[in-house]
Amino acid sequence: MIYVVLSGRYLLAGVFLVALVGKLRCRAAYLEFVTATGALLGANTRTARWAAGATVAIEAITVCALIAEPAARVGLGLAALLLGCFTVALIRALRRGSTTPCRCFGASTAPIRARHAMRSAALGVIALGGLLVDLTLDAHHYEPAGVAVAAPAVAAGILLTTRLDDVADLLR
């Protein structure tokens, strides 16, 4: 189970890292994220700026905590909380009929869909499940062979998660 938790941590860290890079790659990308945040939350500009800034800051802290062994449980808890907030915000926006692009990973112009909320919920389950399992583990010693086996699965998971719209279009 130790490698399942490690894989979940690194999957989440990778997904949040891709999201951060997408949002912060340039000023225009960040401003588009702020605008999308306001539209998804149904909030004014000031609140949208605050929520977007808080999101970026918490995502950065979460990435660092997920990859640092002593802070892994904090990272899993933050990830679960953040993903729960994302899921609720997306569901509420969908119920209002919003077609705003999510901008979760910066560049997407695809309107939000139920699959975006399901992605956030599934990642939240991974975070919460990882935290609960990690609480039962006594030691965190990793063998190189175990990490080598987990790494390709994590990379594939990050790619599929962050390119969800492309995968969905491909499967249509």
Tokens at 35, concatenated: 């605008």
Model pTM?
0.90
Mean pLDDT computed over 13-26: 93
* Residue from 75, 70, 91 nearest 17 by CA: 75
- pLDDT tens readout for residues 82-112: 999 999 999 999 999 998 888 777 677 788 8
Write down the pLDDT at residue 73.
94
pLDDT at 106: 66
Average pLDDT taken over every residue of the chain? 90
Distance CA 141, CA 33 (A): 39
H helix and E strand count, the chain:
7, 0
pLDDT digits (tens, 9 = 90+) for 47-92: 999 999 999 999 999 999 999 988 999 999 999 999 999 999 999 9
Indicate the angle between helix axes 144-162 and 2-24, nearest 10 degrees: 40
| pLDDT tens-place string over residues 28-49 | 999 999 999 999 998 999 999 9
Q: What is the pLDDT of residue 54?
A: 96
Q: 55-77 burial, b if ≥16 CB within 10 A, otherwise e? A: bbebbebbbbbbbeeeebbbbbb
